[in-house]
Amino acid sequence: MKKKKFVPKSKQLDDFIIFELSVAMPDYTFAFRCNKNLGTSLQRGEDLKVYHSSPENPETFSFYYCEKGQDRNIFLIHPLAGQNTLMKSFFLIFQGYFGNEELRKTITSIENIEDVLNINKVELLPASQKRSPQLKKRLTLVNAILTDLEYHMITVNRNRMEQKVQLKKRPGNIKKLYG
């Protein structure tokens, strides 16, 4: 049976604000500095596998995430393969509603980090522009990241729920515990 690619009829891209960053430090150091400057708690998660070019060989991305409340998340994603060791490329993804003032303060704080070389907003749907092949390739990658990110977060949340300790409904004999 041949696999069919799922293509949604409506793209729900309004929920995401994406920035591309160029940074001259490892991902864990950058996540630490973001936590320090932004007051967030980005934490490392299991690597994100993005099935962009072929279903057999997914691209692997390091994955950091922070939940800032109900339906508000921040993701820091960095490709692990094919990176220049001096300059690394990151995607900083905001999911949910973030006000313009909050985004401006966040971007200004990130720009003030010492080894951040460049930060650009990624426009997912350029209005009436001709798309170059390079732009089409980049937008395809970003859309694949967003799709696989949603599936990855479902897995992360499921694993988190399984790890929670569930208390017994009926208390046992206290003498058995200390005896």
Mean pLDDT of the chain, nearest integer: 81
> pTM value?
0.77
pLDDT at 13 over 80: no
Percentage of the residues of the chain whose pLDDT score is greater than 70: 79
Distance from C-alpha of 34 to C-alpha of 112, rounded to nearest angstrom: 10
Q: What SS3 state is found at 7?
A: coil
Q: Which of 20-29, 75-84, 139-148 shows the lowest mean pLDDT across its residues?
A: 75-84
CA dihedral 49, 51, 53, 58 (to 10 degrees): 40
Mark 11-37 as b/e (b = at least 16 C-beta within 10 Å): eeeeebbbbebebebebeebbebbeee
Q: Which of 5-14, 58-67, 101-110, 138-147 shows the lowest mean pLDDT across its residues?
A: 5-14
Q: Helices 100-111 and 27-38 meet at what angle, rounded to 10?
A: 130
For residues 30-34, average pLDDT: 94
Decide if 28 contacts 119 (C-beta within 8 A): no
Mark 103-124 as b/e (b = at least 16 C-beta within 10 Å): eeebeebbeebeebeebeeeee
pLDDT in the model for residue 123:
81
Distance from C-alpha of 10 to C-alpha of 21, rounded to nearest angstrom: 28
Residue 126, token pair as written in the block = 């350029």
Q: What is the pLDDT of residues 82-115, one digit of tens each?
A: 766 778 899 999 999 888 999 999 999 999 999 9
**Is the model more confident about 128 or about 61?**
61
What pLDDT band is residue 173 in, cutting at 50, 70 and 90?
low
Distance from C-alpha of 40 to C-alpha of 32, rounded to nearest angstrom: 9
Q: What is the CATH number of domain 16-125+147-159?
A: 3.30.310
What pLDDT band is residue 10 in, cutting at 50, 70 and 90?
very low
Cβ-proximal residues to 12 (8 Å cutoff; 6+ apart), any chain: none
| Beta-sheet pairing, 88-95 with 16-23 | antiparallel
pLDDT at 8 over 60: no
Using alpha carbons, select from 26, 25, 90 the residue that is nearest to residue 61.
90
